[in-house]
Structure 1
Amino acid sequence: MGTLAGHLVPGSALALLGLWHIINTLKSYHLKGPTNFRSSFWYPFLSHVSKLAHMELILIIFFSIFSIIMQVLDYPTFSFTFKLNNFEHATMFLHLLIYSGFTLFTELVNKSDALFEVSGILAASVFGQELFLLYYHSTDHVGLEGHYHWLMQLIVLISLLSSLYVTNSPSSFPSSLLLSISVAFQGFWFINMGFMLWVPEFVPKGCTIRLGHGGDSDMHGAVVCGTHEAFLRARALANLQFSWILGGILIFVGCVSLFFPKKIDLRSQSIEYERLHSRVAEVPLSLVGFKH
């Protein structure tokens, strides 16, 4: 992941996955209502086409395998040199592969409802291992790069806690929506890190990129600030980016949530009309009985 592409590719995948889950979570809640809502760790793609229903899980499996291979081969050098940070990144995708593979298998054998909690624990383990490996990363991220990674850990922590809560309370809409938001947030933050830490044109004023020269002890792509004032300014800019990205995601959530009630109001009104009509039809019968 020590390149722009290494952040851009997984970041884009996570961002799209999170947005996909936000849309489907809101849609499911508005269609089923508060009493019948049930969280899901994946959503079918074109459910009326059986061959494409499990496309999300299949894409996650292939993406995980591809990412593991890229880390083991040490992209872009494509060599089998053993680097701890590469294998740490590959281990994150390994847990993602375990979760998606198990969940897909439960769907194919029609045991997804009975094993929902197991899939939830495996999903939580993805975020747990990600948080663990980010915190104890063999590449010692310090300075500005360390601050970006620390903010990333906050997002992953929210994903971990919300996934555990969804596993325990699948009918909780807020925790399900929070999980979807945090996944999208991870993706966009990965993308932001890639540009801010690996593209010289985006590096904050007063800071420069110090490329490593090999070995696991080097801080590959670490951003070094010339003065303490420049570092404080760059860190403040990272905090603003954190808030801006979150704000953009919340605006998206608000817009999508406002879209669905327009489709449901007509349906709910028709149901209420039918109930009212049936009650009116019953009135004469009750009056007749009263007269007798």
Structure 2
Amino acid sequence: MGSLVGHVLPGFAFFVLGFWHLFNHIKLHSAHPNSYMSSSWFPTSKLKYLELFLIMVASSISISMELFIGPARHQPLDPDGTIPSNHLRNFEHSSISMTFFIYAAFAIILDKISPKAKYSLALFLGAVAFAQQLLLFHLHSTDHMGVEGQYHLLLQSAVIVSLATTLMGIGLPKSFIVSFIRSLSILYQGVWLIVTGYMLWTPELVSKGCFLHDEDGHQVVRCSSDEALDRAKSLVNIQFSWALTAVTMFSISLYLFLVKLYGEKVEYSTLTKEKDLELEEEYDDVESQKESPKAFRVHGH
């Protein structure tokens, strides 16, 4: 994961997953605002478990890249069977991918075997995956003091939100805002991973006074002075703030667009039904008025 591709590809996967959930939660809430019920994953019309299958495929690719494709000898261990220091991060990243694979695999099994408990248990597995992600990023073997450490420190804030809202979702399945924020935090993880990949491993984008340096086979950003390092970290904080603002504006704009797109149809349908009921009542009243004189004449006769 310690490369441009190693950050951009997982970032794209998180972005797509977050957007997929954000879109479906807004659509579901717009169509059924009074009976909204959250979902831990969303089926597709042609292949029910497509989302979960894609998570499993992406996780498998990530594990393969970290442990077998990326290493020079295509396996992460030393000849004596121990883990070398420069491959510790590979095991950390693959452990994160493994928990997401487990989440997706068991979500499918739960849906087939235990439909009643599938929502809460699937969210629990998702929370475990985010907890694993937070733990391994917080205790990352990568340098925490440099520019890369600052990017990963800020990434942890998005992971915390994903973890917290996933746990909250277990007890609040009808809360749209919890699902909305959870989806947005997953999407933002993807955005920030993509930003991290480009800003750390594109030489032209490295902060002034800093440079790419090879350490144990990994390209790492180092700075020539403390002043340059402090400036680089401050720029990372500004990037995070701007990205957060942009993603927030995007999410609210998407909400307004989808509410207009799907909400009006529901409202129109509801008003039409109410109008039809009113017409039926008026028709019944007219018919009853027509029949009542006749009934009176029969009675009088």
With structure 2 as the length reference, what TM-score do the two structures score?
Answer: 0.85
Q: CA deviation at 1:144?
A: 1.5
Give the SS at the match of 1:73: helix
- Indicate yes or no: 2:35 matched with 1:36: yes
Determine if contact 2:142/2:149 at 8 Å carries over to the other structure: no
Secondary structure of 1:37's match? Answer: coil
The one-letter code sitting in structure 2 at the alignment partner of 1:67 is S
**Which residue number in structure 2 is paired with residue 58 of structure 1?**
53
**Whole-Å separation in 2 of the counterparts to 1:65 and 1:139:** 23
Q: SS of 1:209's equivalent?
A: strand
2:70 is aligned, of 75, 79, 93, to 75
Question: What CA distance in whole angstroms lies between the structure 1 residues aligned with 2:131 and 2:227?
Answer: 35
Structure 2 counterpart of 1:150, one-letter code: L
Q: How does 1:64-213 map to 2 (within 5 A)?
A: 64-73=59-68, 75=70, 77=72, 78-81=74-77, 82=83, 83-107=87-111, 109=112, 111-213=114-216
Summarize deviations over 1:260-282 as a string: whole Å, max 9, x none: 22333143134224324424653
Output the CA distance in 2 between the equivalents of 1:144 and 1:71.
22
Distance 1:262-1:55 versus aligned 2 partners, 3 A rule: closer
* Whole-Å separation in 1 of the counterparts to 2:39 and 2:277: 36
Structure number, greater radius of gyration: 2
Task: Map Cα deviations across residues 41-65 of structure 1 (whole Å, 9 max, x no partner).
Answer: 21122x2x2xx22111001111111
> 1:88-107: CA deviations, max 9, x gaps?
11110111011000001222
Q: Deviations over 1:20-60 (max 9, x none)?
A: 11111111110111x21111121122x2x2xx221110011
Which residue number in structure 1 is paired with residue 293 of structure 2? none
Q: Report the AA paired with residue 3 of structure 1.
A: S
TM alignment of 1:235-250, pairs within 5 A: 235-250=233-248
Q: Is the 8 A contact 1:61 1:100 kept in 2?
A: yes
Give the AA of the match of 1:42: W
Query: Could you tell me how far 1:161 is from its partner in structure 2?
Result: 0.2
CA contact (8 A) 1:72 1:80 kept: yes
Amino acid across the alignment from 2:75: S
Contact persistence 1:74–1:80 (CA under 8 A): no
* Paired amino acid for 2:108: L
For the structure 1 residues 221 and 112, does the alpha-carbon distance in structure 2 shift closer, same or farther, using more than 3 Å as the test?
A: farther
Question: Are the counterparts in 2 of residues 11 and 188 from structure 1 also a CA contact under 8 Å?
Answer: yes
Correspondence for 2:230: 232
Contact 1:22 1:180 in 2 (8 A): yes
The alignment status of 1:8 with 2:3, answered yes or no, reads no
Q: Is the 8 A contact 1:7 1:190 kept in 2?
A: yes
CA distance in 1, matches of 2:19, 2:273: 36
Of all paired residues, the percent bearing the same amino acid is 36
8 Å Cα contact 1:103/1:112 also seen in 2: no
- Structure 2 unmatched runs, 5+: 78-82, 290-295, 297-301
How far residue 150 of structure 1 moved from its aligned partner, in angstroms, is 0.7
Deviations along 1:196-237, whole A, 9 cap, x unmatched?
Answer: 1112111111111222135xxxxx433222233322322221
Kindly indicate whether the alpha-carbon contact (under 8 Å) linking 2:17 and 2:187 is maintained by their aligned counterparts in 1: yes
Moved more, 260-269 or 121-130: 260-269
The residue matched to 1:211 in structure 2 has which SS? strand
- What is the CA-CA distance between 1:68 and the residue it aligns to? 1.2
Equivalent residues, number: 281
How far the C-alpha of 1:117 sits from its partner, in A, is: 1.1
- CA separation of 1:270/1:10 partners in 2, compared to 1, >3 Å: closer, same or farther? closer
Q: Which runs of 5+ in 1 are unaligned?
A: 215-219
> Following the alignment from structure 1 to structure 2, what is the Cα–Cα distance between the partners of residues 245 and 277?
49
